[in-house]
Amino acid sequence: MNKETPEQQPADKQQKLGPLNVHEIMGLLPHRYPFLLIDRLEDIVPGESATGLKNVTINEPFFQGHFPAQAVMPGVLIVEAMAQSAAALVMYTLGEEAHGKVVYFMSVDDARFRKPVVPGDTLKIHVTRIQNRRSVWKFQGEAKVEGVLVANASFSAMIMGY
């Protein structure tokens, strides 16, 4: 049996997996309504990358105050959706080793917001591992709507027991 972790395997041995539906994501993350900000995880390459999807609807509770006359998804929630996509990837990658652990956000760097995200948009959030050392993982994230970059950031998180 191969004991290499996915990030130690050569690229030709890594395979794309998924997609994971919202119920499978809830099995990996503690987030729930109204703070679960990804509906699906696809194009999964364990230990490396994944794409999260968020269907943005007018029914989102944050639209009541941001902004009532011109609904715009808050940029901080787009970054949170990136972080949740990365956290789901990490927990999926760790498998049984993740039992009893949670991913905690540590830092956000170089966040850029390029276009407003509005009801009716589908965010495609691509996250790529930059590095990981022990329990700390660093990612680069990009959020796109219809192929157009709307936001990007790099961020790190720590896996800890609860």
Instruction: Write out the chain's pLDDT in tens, 162 residues.
Output: 344 444 444 444 456 688 999 999 999 999 999 999 999 999 999 999 999 999 999 999 999 999 989 999 999 999 999 999 999 999 999 999 999 999 999 999 999 999 999 999 999 999 999 999 999 999 999 999 999 999 999 999 999 998
Residue-level pLDDT at 14: 55
Task: Tell me the domains of the chain and their CATH numbers.
Answer: 6-161 (3.10.129.10)
The catalytic site residues sit at: 66
Sole residue written with tokens 């995200």: 117
| Segments of the chain assigned E as strands | 40-45, 49-55, 101-113, 122-133, 136-145, 148-161
Residue-level pLDDT at 15: 65
Residue 90: C-alpha distances to residues 74, 79, 82, 116, 135 (Å): 25, 16, 12, 28, 10
Q: Beta partners for 151?
A: 113, 143
Task: Tell the burial category of 61 from Cβ atoms under 10 Å away from its Cβ (0-12, 13-18, 19+).
Answer: exposed
